[in-house]
Amino acid sequence: MDLVSYTKFLLALALVVALIVLSAWLLRRFGLVPGQPMSRKGAGRLTLVETLPLDIHRKLIIVKRDNVEHLIVLGQNSETVVESPIPQSTTINTSTQDGNNTP
């Protein structure tokens, strides 16, 4: 093979790799990849506030929908709503060692 054939091969390979990368980016951008959340510009109605793994099979999540939080336990084959709606937390004043409250 001569130099022209190698150049054509490398250009074709670069074009194919660029098309694969572009396709993957477009699929992620428009949310067509299963298991990945779709990227959104504005604020939606549903957000995942916090996640805490309990053990290897279960995790505890807080989901916020329309400004109402729900505490849910997710297992392999089950979902359980623990508390709904969750009252909004208030700030707690902490005290120092000598008993004086801090502002």
pLDDT digits (tens, 9 = 90+) for 6-43: 999 999 999 999 999 999 988 877 767 665 555 555 56
pLDDT digits (tens, 9 = 90+) for 59-93: 999 888 888 888 999 998 888 888 777 776 644 44
**Predicted local confidence at residue 50, as pLDDT:** 86
pTM over 0.85: no
pLDDT top residue among 70 and 98 = 70
Whole-number pLDDT of residue 46? 84
Q: What are phi and psi of 69, to 5 degrees?
A: -95, 145
Q: Beta strand pairing status for 68-74 and 59-65?
A: antiparallel
Q: Compute the Cα dihedral for 34, 47, 65, 39 and give only its sign.
A: negative
Query: What tokens appear for 23 in the block?
Result: 């396709």
CA distances from 6 to 2, 3, 15, 19, 20 (A): 7, 5, 14, 20, 21
For residues 71 and 67, give the distance between their C-alpha atoms in angstroms, rounded to a whole number.
13
Q: How far is CA 40 from the centre of its chain?
A: 12
